[in-house]
Chain A
């Protein structure tokens, strides 16, 4: 590993000056130096997706990106998407649909769906499956995650429509239908566990 030097990182809209080896993975800098624990360490080899962040709006695996190679690119972590008061549509969808078991993979799932919607707001089932193909979930929560992603497409559409015109009618909702199952009721209040995982809250720190 080469000698540490002063490195500027642009994360969630602010600039940070850190003394780091340019080879250090971005994931370590985010978690250890900036205290942003939304991104998780899963494999460290770019295989699982738990560490996903956005680099200039595209999904990137933070465990294999050296901090020295990022230049002025804008990095967004789960913390940068939204908070409890104003969640991102993707976060809102995962809360509504309870798309988590242990929640360890959720950061990657949410960030990857976010990147997909940045690129293609009207993503269909095939798009979602292809995009999430490289994200691993050890708990078998796949159906809930897919339902959350579908809901995210809806919420994203509503948000965009609302931005375009305040009076736009909201399209019919399919709620949190998993695969071909019947519609699941939308829970009145999300459980604390899901909210915290989705919003990078205290439960899953560390």
Chain B
């Protein structure tokens, strides 16, 4: 959990003193009432919803170091000019290391934040302070226990990363010298103090208001959980004060991950020994629990970056340590925090979840070390009868333990928590009297979780959850959602921006089954005298304590299933897979990108190259196809995205054939190569290919039977796929319908018919090493590079090949080439696009199949764009970012549209000088749809003056399109173009092409040999 501002849970006396302020600071009641209570400068809250509102995105500094030494860089300079051309940008604000871009729309601010150029400087690593232990509680002599059966363990509790698509926002405005904040704050009082310090306003002039009041103004619904909305609120406050206008700040994934990373991790060290000897009681002889709070200060980012100290830091809440619920002859609780309190932590204490995780993981380990059943071991040692009853009932409800099978490892784990509910925290209406609150300070919660783990991928699914609590009725939708969110967060991927993360698959599925056992069902209801007075629904009390055992229950279940002990959430597939591999003694695979250094990669590549140079390879034995339900839905979804990025279906499907059944003829300079059937049919497809065979084909271009494959199959690119992606792709292909279809056999002429010769070819031209991200580049660039160089295999068409059919390198990379009778234009500085490509034009083209300044995706590129439709926007943007880095310096949008206008005017002028039969051809065949000032017709109207094909040194693409039209565009909205092959002869098409060149690209030399080109392409047909 991210550490909140320290005053979150202030002691009750202080809270009472502040009650008046807090009540006036929070506008309660209906939104209408809230609006009436907001005295806006413009007269009403409409001021915020109207044109006055500005939208901001912050740019957080890059981080250096790790753990306690993790630190943001220092800002040297920010170049406001780098975003000046973006329409809607209002200002770039920098204060200390705080940087934000303010614009009239969130979209403009987001674009600008991405493009803003800033220079940062690393700070030296801080000296770690020596930690001193402060004892919170001690009885008996914990040092005396014999070391013989002592178990000592340590656990970490990091801030959990945001979920995919999670964001947070908050709004701030200066009204009559007061700063109003609309934010879903967890600790409004502390936020008020910190923002007062940030802005220099007296705390009384800072008001935290209910964001629901903004909804009627059409503002985005307040999003995000505390404390991230508080981070956004502080950012908004700083900007609203600087600009004197209302500002809405949105924090996206990157900013939330930045905050989560800086929040650091709490550590818990537990050391305990069981009572030994013949008449030993079921209790610990000694138990020591020491917590090390996160080393980072829990300061709001705006304050930290602006260099403002926290006004609440001195009044920091003293650290507390949770007493374990188990019997111990000697007990010692300590913390390395500067200030400690002997009080037990309240249910909302930020240090609590990590301590429960540590204690409940530890008891599980202790039970297993003693060879005992973890549930029975707990029940023997629990001090409190209510807790023991709750846990026992939970065990009875759980039924027989799940059994593992060949495909999935299954396990079950328990955990419980016993904490003070501190009901006053959830009683803003003051409906509870002091006696009632006292009577309900204690709450028990217990979890049983069952997991299923795929041992190959390490993926975990929480298949069943049983939650019991004696804090009152649990069975409402909010609790189910909270449970699903919690387990999802525990399993969600690390806050990595790895190049092979697929955003759409990052959210683990909710537990298969959630059962809630409330107090009545369990028969552990508190005595009647203690039953709570009616509370307003939904009841918040109970929520905090109820979710506490979640992490330990899931970790214990994973251990039960796999024998792997995870000492910190999140429990990601990668960590489990690595632990399983390490335990099984398997060599760490080359695919383990996070562990593999440069040296390892080079060695792996060298070894693989040597192996591949053998002129023949051993066949890999056929296997039965994997069962349909072997792979999880998440794996299949990921595999589908990899297949889409790799356009598998584009080449492995014929116009009338079943998907992936192969048979498409690919024309190469060496002869016709037919694509193969890659459906899981055992006879004609790849149904009996094991994963090892599949991976060898993808990375090394070797058929299952040992034959070398021709490099028309782009394994030179697919070798770059990460192991996770390769596995997911295999899983997805094996889950597709099997189609029995024998693809025609490829028969090349001698010497290309000699497949063993390919071994030498590979030695020369194939580098099977996996993709290596460039640490000097952004995560987005690396993601784009991975997609383009790996699955996307863009170079297969866009990079020229040498006489032996290998892609050239160096300056020839992406220098353009010919494929299937079409020109694949250069993507590098040689691009002949009359308006240079920009990142956003590339995005438009790849996402929508059309860029107004370049034209439509046609020929073999149309199905590529169609296939890319499956990828999320972020991936298309990453591809655009990477490709743009190869191109000429991109013009600003304003310059680009200036170019476009000039080109159109030039074409109009050129038209006046041209006449004759070709002009009639143009008027008849083209003008209705293409003339600049023509009717509005269904589809897009590509401007010929801007079309890259008319500016290319090669007329091929233009002639292809005139001959065959555009019959299957990337997207139905683009419209269609008829082919003129049947109505215009070679001479007419040549004349028309020459006319189009002279009119729309008058600065380019006339094309030579047009009639022959037309005749040649007319014969060739089209892919």
Selected interface stretch from B415-423, B509-517, B972-980: B972-980
Docked pose: A2 CA to B655 CA in angstroms = 7
Docked pose: A2 CA to B933 CA in angstroms = 36
Instruction: Report whether B927 and A134 are in contact in the complex, using a CB–CB cutoff of 8 Å.
Output: yes
Let me know if A66 is at the binding interface, CB within 8 A. yes
Query: If A46-B929, A47-B924 touch, does A119 touch B978 (CB 8 Å cutoff)?
Result: no
Let me know if B11 is at the binding interface, CB within 8 A. no
Question: Chain B contacts of A46 at CB under 8 A?
Answer: 928-929, 977-978
Let me know if A131 is at the binding interface, CB within 8 A. yes
A58, A71, A134: the one contacting B929 at CB < 8 Å is A134
| Closest-CB distance, A57 to chain B (whole angstroms) | 10
| Closest-CB distance, B82 to chain A (whole angstroms) | 39
Let me know if A151 is at the binding interface, CB within 8 A. no
Let me know if A65 is at the binding interface, CB within 8 A. yes
Question: Chain B contacts of A119 at CB under 8 A?
Answer: 936
Question: Chain A contacts of B656 at CB under 8 A?
Answer: 2-3
Instruction: Report whether B978 and A133 are in contact in the complex, using a CB–CB cutoff of 8 Å.
Output: no
A47, A69, A71, A130: the one contacting B925 at CB < 8 Å is A47
| Closest-CB distance, A3 to chain B (whole angstroms) | 6
| Closest-CB distance, A129 to chain B (whole angstroms) | 10
**Contact code string A108-133 (vs B, CB < 8 Å = 1, else 0):** 00001001100100000000001111
| Closest-CB distance, A93 to chain B (whole angstroms) | 18
Instruction: Report whether B935 and A59 are in contact in the complex, using a CB–CB cutoff of 8 Å.
Output: yes
Let me know if B429 is at the binding interface, CB within 8 A. no
Let me know if B967 is at the binding interface, CB within 8 A. yes
Let me know if B983 is at the binding interface, CB within 8 A. yes
Interface residues on B, range: 20 to 34
Docked pose: A70 CA to B937 CA in angstroms = 15
Docked pose: A7 CA to B975 CA in angstroms = 18
Query: If A3-B656, A45-B983, A65-B976 touch, does A133 touch B938 (CB 8 Å cutoff)?
Result: no
| Closest-CB distance, B417 to chain A (whole angstroms) | 53
**Contact code string B905-937 (vs A, CB < 8 Å = 1, else 0):** 000000000000000000011011101011111
Docked pose: A132 CA to B968 CA in angstroms = 28
Instruction: Report whether B972 and A69 are in contact in the complex, using a CB–CB cutoff of 8 Å.
Output: yes
Residue of B nearest to A60 (CB): B938
B925, B933, B936: the one contacting A59 at CB < 8 Å is B936
Question: Chain B contacts of A150 at CB under 8 A?
Answer: none
Residue of B nearest to A70 (CB): B972
A-B contact count (CB 8 A): 72
Query: If A2-B655, A49-B928 touch, does A64 touch B977 (CB 8 Å cutoff)?
Result: yes
Residue of B nearest to A61 (CB): B937
Query: If A3-B656, A45-B925, A64-B977 touch, does A58 touch B967 (CB 8 Å cutoff)?
Result: no
Query: If A23-B967, A45-B983 touch, does A130 touch B934 (CB 8 Å cutoff)?
Result: yes
| Closest-CB distance, B404 to chain A (whole angstroms) | 46
A59, A63, A131: the one contacting B938 at CB < 8 Å is A59
Docked pose: A116 CA to B934 CA in angstroms = 12
| Closest-CB distance, B252 to chain A (whole angstroms) | 33
A70, A115, A130, A132: the one contacting B933 at CB < 8 Å is A130
Query: If A71-B972, A134-B927 touch, does A45 touch B980 (CB 8 Å cutoff)?
Result: yes
Docked pose: A45 CA to B927 CA in angstroms = 12
Question: Chain A contacts of B972 at CB under 8 A?
Answer: 69-71, 73
| Closest-CB distance, A117 to chain B (whole angstroms) | 12
Residue of A nearest to B969 (CB): A69
Question: Chain B contacts of A69 at CB under 8 A?
Answer: 968-969, 972, 976
Instruction: Report whether A47 and B928 are in contact in the complex, using a CB–CB cutoff of 8 Å.
Output: yes
Docked pose: A149 CA to B934 CA in angstroms = 17
Instruction: Report whether A112 and B935 are in contact in the complex, using a CB–CB cutoff of 8 Å.
Output: yes
Instruction: Report whether A115 and B936 are in contact in the complex, using a CB–CB cutoff of 8 Å.
Output: yes
Docked pose: A130 CA to B931 CA in angstroms = 10
Instruction: Report whether A45 and B935 are in contact in the complex, using a CB–CB cutoff of 8 Å.
Output: no
Let me know if A161 is at the binding interface, CB within 8 A. no
Instruction: Report whether B936 and A45 are in contact in the complex, using a CB–CB cutoff of 8 Å.
Output: no
Query: If A2-B655, A46-B929 touch, does A64 touch B935 (CB 8 Å cutoff)?
Result: no
Instruction: Report whether A45 and B929 are in contact in the complex, using a CB–CB cutoff of 8 Å.
Output: no
**Contact code string B648-662 (vs A, CB < 8 Å = 1, else 0):** 000000011000000
Docked pose: A73 CA to B967 CA in angstroms = 18
Docked pose: A126 CA to B101 CA in angstroms = 44
| B:968-997 near A, CB below 8 Å | 968-969, 972, 975-978, 980, 983
Let me know if A55 is at the binding interface, CB within 8 A. yes
Instruction: Report whether B978 and A64 are in contact in the complex, using a CB–CB cutoff of 8 Å.
Output: yes
Docked pose: A73 CA to B656 CA in angstroms = 24
Instruction: Report whether B976 and A134 are in contact in the complex, using a CB–CB cutoff of 8 Å.
Output: no
Instruction: Report whether B935 and A132 are in contact in the complex, using a CB–CB cutoff of 8 Å.
Output: yes
Interchain residue pairs A-B with the least CB separation, the first 3:
A134-B928, A60-B938, A64-B978
Given known contacts A46-B929, A59-B937, A134-B937, what 19 new A-B pairs fall within 8 Å (CB)?
A: A23-B967, A45-B925, A45-B983, A58-B936, A58-B937, A59-B935, A59-B936, A59-B938, A61-B938, A64-B977, A69-B969, A112-B935, A115-B936, A116-B936, A133-B931, A133-B934, A134-B927, A134-B931, A134-B934
CB pairs A–B below 8 angstroms (9 shown): A3-B656, A23-B967, A58-B938, A61-B937, A61-B938, A64-B978, A65-B976, A66-B976, A130-B934
